[in-house]
Every structure is written in structure tokens, then in C-alpha cells.
């Protein structure tokens, strides 16, 4: 299977689209320039978790980068009751005014690699804390924009410029991507890294004879470990299913044999399994350094997993009872009703029904839209591109399993965190859904032009 070679004009067009994508996404992520999200929401969203990165930098400056196991945290007594608004402000104030902590409460549910890296940058960059914090936002927003643009570049290569533009538009207009894009805690780019690695590898290894599965497994292991190190095991099932999405696309497109499917599946499972195992071992050692030993780390990991999934109610504090008892179907329905894009940010309307149900583009609307467009694309695809479009349709509906995996498996976490987990629809279901939308428009336009010429 030979790679498609692009002409100079096509390369220029791709570079132009990617450059525009990076700029549009960066300014949306960095400053909400397109007003996709309400400004107050954008300014305050997940400031509590981000303050743990700022707290880590204060702790690193005070006692060393690997003090308290290198874990993120805050200059407070403990995090059992989470961090208050006043305490959040204290973290930023301590960093910006070069103050110190008398106490430090580590957050022990992720390795906090992003905190370690920012602490290292903080130590090496000879600028004021204000400029350094600003530059960290710039760097995070830029990395997030580049990561999503890498995915958009793949859509360009597979389906052309118009489809890539539809995907760019879906990313720019997503209010959830916008509010997460520059957050130091979330480091959005890390979630997409494993999928980008798989996309790139399979794109360049279409011929099974040239596919080096050991190398493939190693690349997966490295990318998944980086994800786990940077932002922990947040949304890990979504990340892993998302990583498999390109495999489904190329399996359908190139009509892989069962043997080929099995080898790719084993490489992805073994590579990601190794990465997660070492990530968990690292976290247990970090917790052990902050507490009383490795066994404390294992105990905390097991406890954290139980309270976020389907653990027994009696084994956890009462505050987790409602989330553990919640119905899985109800949780999924809640997320299906979430808002992807809100026209109310641009249009003022007094009618409550119009404002709440017509101007707010909900994910359930997109699901229905993508179903219709999948059918239209299937009916109107030409023989020349039919296999590509069939592969895209299959892949799109496989990709919905990525967000659903978290909503179902980590049902308790999803029940509590309705202020943030709508992000998962963009990992990567809405991208592929809008690619189907764009492809259907292109296919129908070409079909109509052909019919008019024949008529």
C-alpha cells in the first residue's frame, strides 16, 4: 500500500490550513478570543485544580522539585475537603509574590508530571513570576493547539481541505475545548498524544509487510506513559479507546485480515498495559515518599479507583453515596444533554425555550445530526471514495465508545464532575462526526454537480 503523494500546491494548502488552525485554536484557548465560552467561566474554570500546579511550584522553589514525592498540592493542612476559593487565591499569591508555605498537602491521585516540568521551567527561566506564569499559559495553549492541528492534518490527508475545515470549525467552536485549552493542570495535548502517535504510525505503515509491531508497541508505551506522567490517569479509558480509533479506520479501509487485527490489538494492549503499570508503580512510590511507604501508595490507588467507579457504598464516606448509587443510564443521558456550543453568547433571546433548546447546541443534537449525515454519506459516496467514507462512518461510531467508556466505567466520577467531563465528547467523537458532516456535504455537492452536467 503506497502512501499518497501530495503536489506542491496541496502541501502549501495543507500548511496554510494547519497554520490557520493553530492560530485559531491558540487564541481561543489562550484568551477566549472568539467568545465561545462565557468569559467568567473561561477565567475561573478548573482554577482549583490548576492552583495545585502553582502550589507545586511554590513547594519546589522552597524545598526542591522532588520534595513531597514531586506530587502536586497546596499550602494547606489537607485536601480531604478539597480546596476553598480563598485557599486557591493563596496558592497564586504565594507564587507571584515569592512567598513560602508552612505546610503542604499533596494531591495523591496522579503523578503530577506537569507540576514537575513547570517547576523545572520555573527554576531555569530568569524572569519574574508574573511573566513565567503567563509564558506557561502560552506554552500549554500552544501545545494543545498543535496537538489538535496534528489530528486536523490527518483529516486533510485522508479527506481533503473542506473536511479538514469542518473539523477545525468543530474544535474552535467547542466551548469545552476552549475552557480546558490553557489550563496548566489538564495539559490538554497529552490526552491526544497516543492517538496522534497511532495515526502517524499507521498512516506511514499501510503495507503490513513494513509494519514493525514491536516498534509500534514501544511507541504506544512511550506515548501512554507520557500521558499518565503529565496528567495522570484522568480519563484513561477514553484515552485508550481514542488511541484505537485510527486502528479501526485503517482496518476497514485496508480490509485487514483477522491476523493483522490481532497483532495490532496485542501491540496496543501490551504497550499501553506496560505504560499504565509503570505509571501506577511510579505513583505508588511518590505517595510512599510523601507518606510512610510504598504500601500506602497501593492502598490509596485502590481506594481512589473504588470511589470513582462502582465501589460498595459502605466502604466510602457518605459524600460519595449518591455517585456510587447513581444509575449508569441516567449519567449517560446527563452528558448527552450537555451543550457543545451556545449561540446565547452572541444572540440575546427572551424566550426560554428558544434560549435553552434551540440556541444551545447539545450533544444529543449532534448525535442525531451525525446519524443522518452518516446515512447520506453512505448513500451518496462515489465508487472512487466509497471505501474511505465507509471506513470513516465505522470509525465515527466506534469513536463514541471513547467518552462512553468513562461515563459507564467511571460512573461515580462522571456523576460528580458534570462541571468538566463533557470534554470527553471531543475525544475524538465530535471530530469524526463533523468529518462525516463535511464529507457528506462534499459528496452531495459533487453528486449534484454531476447530475446537473448530465442533465
Residues 360 and 449 occupy one common structural domain: yes
Residues 62 and 200 occupy one common structural domain: no
321, pLDDT greater than 90? no
Q: What is the three-class DSSP state of 74?
A: strand
Residues 297 and 438 occupy one common structural domain: yes
- Phi, psi torsion values for 453, nearest 5 degrees: -65, -40
**pLDDT at residue 313 in the model:** 57
Residues 106 and 210 occupy one common structural domain: no
Rounded to the nearest 10 degrees, what angle do helices 129-159 and 161-173 cross at? 150
Residues 202 and 338 occupy one common structural domain: yes
Residues 92 and 207 occupy one common structural domain: no
- Phi, psi torsion values for 400, nearest 5 degrees: -65, -20
Q: Is residue 173 part of a domain?
A: no
Out of 80, 98, 126, a domain closes at: 126
Residues 357 and 434 occupy one common structural domain: yes
Whole-angstrom Cα distance, residue 171 to residue 34?
A: 12
Residues 352 and 226 occupy one common structural domain: yes
Q: Is residue 12 part of a domain?
A: no
Whole-angstrom Cα distance, residue 18 to residue 8?
A: 15
Whole-angstrom Cα distance, residue 284 to residue 301?
A: 8
**pLDDT at residue 152 in the model:** 97
**pLDDT at residue 255 in the model:** 93
Range of 110's domain? 47-126
224, pLDDT greater than 80? yes
Residues 198 and 109 occupy one common structural domain: no
Residue spans of beta strands (DSSP E) within 307-419 = 339-342, 360-362
345, pLDDT greater than 80? yes
- Cβ–Cβ under 8 Å, residues 236 and 276: yes
1, pLDDT greater than 60? no
- Cβ–Cβ under 8 Å, residues 149 and 21: yes
pLDDT > 90 in the chain, percent = 76
pLDDT tens-digit series, residues 393-414: 999 999 999 999 999 999 988 9
Average pLDDT of the segment spanning 321-338: 86
Cβ atoms within 10 A of the Cβ of 57, count? 27
Q: What is the three-class DSSP state of 32?
A: coil
Whole-angstrom Cα distance, residue 40 to residue 154?
A: 34
Q: Is residue 418 part of a domain?
A: yes
Out of 85, 106, 126, a domain closes at: 126
205, pLDDT greater than 90? no
Whole-angstrom Cα distance, residue 410 to residue 408?
A: 6
- Enter the pTM of the model: 0.93
Residues 335 and 433 occupy one common structural domain: yes
Q: What is the three-class DSSP state of 427?
A: coil
**pLDDT at residue 90 in the model:** 95
Cell of 354: 428558544
Mean pLDDT value across the chain: 91
The runs of H, that is alpha helices, within 185-257 are 189-204, 213-231, 236-253
Q: Is residue 139 part of a domain?
A: no
Residues 68 and 198 occupy one common structural domain: no
The alpha carbon dihedral of 204, 207, 209, 215 has a sign of positive
pLDDT tens-digit series, residues 270-290: 999 999 999 999 999 999 988
Average pLDDT of the segment spanning 422-448: 94
Torsion of Cα atoms, 43 then 28 then 26 then 336, to 10°: 90
Q: Is residue 410 part of a domain?
A: yes
239, pLDDT greater than 80? yes
User: What residues contact 358, with CB distance under 8 A and at least 6 apart?
Assistant: none
The alpha carbon dihedral of 292, 294, 295, 297 has a sign of positive
Q: Exposure of 59 by Cβ count < 10 A (0-12 exposed, 13-18 middle, 19+ buried)?
A: buried
pLDDT tens-digit series, residues 28-54: 999 999 999 999 999 999 999 999 999
- Cβ–Cβ under 8 Å, residues 361 and 343: yes
**pLDDT at residue 444 in the model:** 87
Residues 365 and 229 occupy one common structural domain: yes
327, pLDDT greater than 60? yes
Cβ atoms within 10 A of the Cβ of 336, count? 18
The Cα-based distances of 401 to 55, 147, 230, 395, 429 in angstroms read: 35, 21, 24, 10, 8
Assign residue 46 a region (left: φ > 0; alpha: ψ between -120 and 50; beta: otherwise).
left
User: Which one has a higher pLDDT value, 199 or 3?
Assistant: 199
DSSP string, 128-139: -HHHHHHHHHHH
Nearest-CA neighbor of 144 among 180, 195, 119? 180
Out of 101, 126, 151, a domain closes at: 126
Domain count of the chain? Answer: 2
Name 341's bridge partners: 361
- Cβ–Cβ under 8 Å, residues 285 and 296: no
DSSP string, 312-351: -GGGS-GGGHHHHHS-HHHHHHHHHTSEEEEGGGT-----
Question: Is beta strand 73-74 parallel, antiparallel or unpaired with respect to 105-106?
Answer: antiparallel
Q: Is residue 35 part of a domain?
A: no
Cβ atoms within 10 A of the Cβ of 153, count? 20
- Phi, psi torsion values for 164, nearest 5 degrees: -60, -40
Cell of 376: 447520506
Q: Is residue 55 part of a domain?
A: yes
**pLDDT at residue 273 in the model:** 96
Question: Is beta strand 105-106 parallel, antiparallel or unpaired with respect to 339-342?
Answer: unpaired
Cell of 353: 425555550
The alpha carbon dihedral of 200, 203, 209, 210 has a sign of negative
Q: What is the three-class DSSP state of 455?
A: coil
Distance of CA 405 to the CA centre of its chain: 14
Q: Is residue 343 part of a domain?
A: yes
Amino acid at each position: 500500500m503506497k502512501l499518497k503523494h501530495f503536489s506542491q500546491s496541496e502541501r502549501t494548502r495543507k500548511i496554510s490550513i494547519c497554520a490557520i488552525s493553530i492560530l485559531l485554536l491558540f487564541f481561543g484557548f489562550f484568551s477566549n478570543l472568539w467568545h465561545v465560552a462565557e468569559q467568567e467561566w473561561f477565567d475561573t474554570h478548573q482554577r482549583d485544580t490548576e492552583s495545585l500546579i502553582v502550589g507545586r511550584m511554590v513547594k519546589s522553589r522552597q524545598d526542591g522539585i522532588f520534595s513531597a514525592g514531586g506530587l502536586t498540592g497546596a499550602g494547606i493542612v489537607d485536601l480531604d475537603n478539597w480546596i476553598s476559593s480563598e485557599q486557591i487565591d493563596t496558592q497564586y499569591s504565594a507564587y507571584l509574590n515569592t512567598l513560602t508555605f508552612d505546610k503542604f498537602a499533596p494531591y495523591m491521585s496522579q503523578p503530577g508530571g506537569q507540576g514537575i516540568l513547570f517547576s523545572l521551567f520555573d527554576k531555569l527561566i530568569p524572569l519574574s513570576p508574573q511573566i513565567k506564569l503567563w509564558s506557561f499559559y502560552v506554552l500549554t495553549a500552544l501545545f494543545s493547539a498543535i496537538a489538535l492541528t496534528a489530528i486536523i492534518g490527518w483529516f486533510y490527508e485522508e479527506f481533503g481541505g473542506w473536511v479538514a475545515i469542518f473539523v477545525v470549525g468543530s474544535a474552535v467552536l467547542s466551548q469545552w475545548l476552549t475552557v480546558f485549552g490553557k489550563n496548566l493542570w489538564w495539559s490538554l495535548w497529552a490526552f491526544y498524544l497516543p492517538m496522534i502517535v497511532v495515526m502517524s504510525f499507521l498512516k506511514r505503515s499501510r503495507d503490513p509487510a513494513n509494519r514493525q509491531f514491536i516498534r509500534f508497541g514501544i511507541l504506544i508505551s512511550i506515548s501512554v506513559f507520557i500521558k499518565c506522567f503529565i496528567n495522570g490517569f484522568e480519563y484513561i479509558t477514553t484515552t485508550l479507546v481514542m488511541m484505537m480509533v485510527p486502528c479501526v479506520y485503517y482496518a476497514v479501509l485496508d480490509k485487514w485480515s483477522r491476523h493483522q487485527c490481532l497483532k495490532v490489538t496485542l501491540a496496543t494492549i501490551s504497550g499501553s498495559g506496560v505504560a499504565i503499570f509503570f505509571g501506577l508503580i511510579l505513583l505508588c512510590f511518590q505517595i510512599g515518599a510523601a507518606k510512610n511507604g510504598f504500601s500506602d501508595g497501593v492502598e490509596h490507588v485502590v481506594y481512589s479507583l473504588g470511589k470513582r467507579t462502582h465501589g460498595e457504598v459502605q466502604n466510602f464516606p457518605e459524600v460519595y453515596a449518591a455517585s456510587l448509587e447513581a444509575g449508569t443510564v441516567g449519567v449517560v443521558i446527563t452528558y448527552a444533554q450537555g451543550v457543545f456550543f451556545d449561540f446565547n453568547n452572541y444572540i440575546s433571546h427572551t424566550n426560554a425555550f428558544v434560549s435553552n433548546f434551540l440556541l444551545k447546541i447539545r450533544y444529543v443534537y449532534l448525535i442525531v445530526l451525525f446519524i443522518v449525515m452518516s446515512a447520506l454519506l453512505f448513500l451518496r459516496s462515489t465508487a472512487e471514495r466509497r471505501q474511505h467514507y465507509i471506513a470513516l462512518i465505522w470509525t465515527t461510531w466506534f469513536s463514541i465508545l471513547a467518552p462512553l467508556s468513562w461515563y459507564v466505567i467511571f460512573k461515580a466520577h462522571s456523576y460528580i464532575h458534570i462541571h468538566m467531563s463533557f470534554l470527553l465528547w471531543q475525544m475524538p467523537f465530535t471530530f469524526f462526526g463533523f468529518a462525516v458532516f463535511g464529507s457528506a456535504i462534499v459528496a452531495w455537492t459533487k453528486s449534484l454537480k454531476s447530475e446537473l452536467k448530465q442533465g
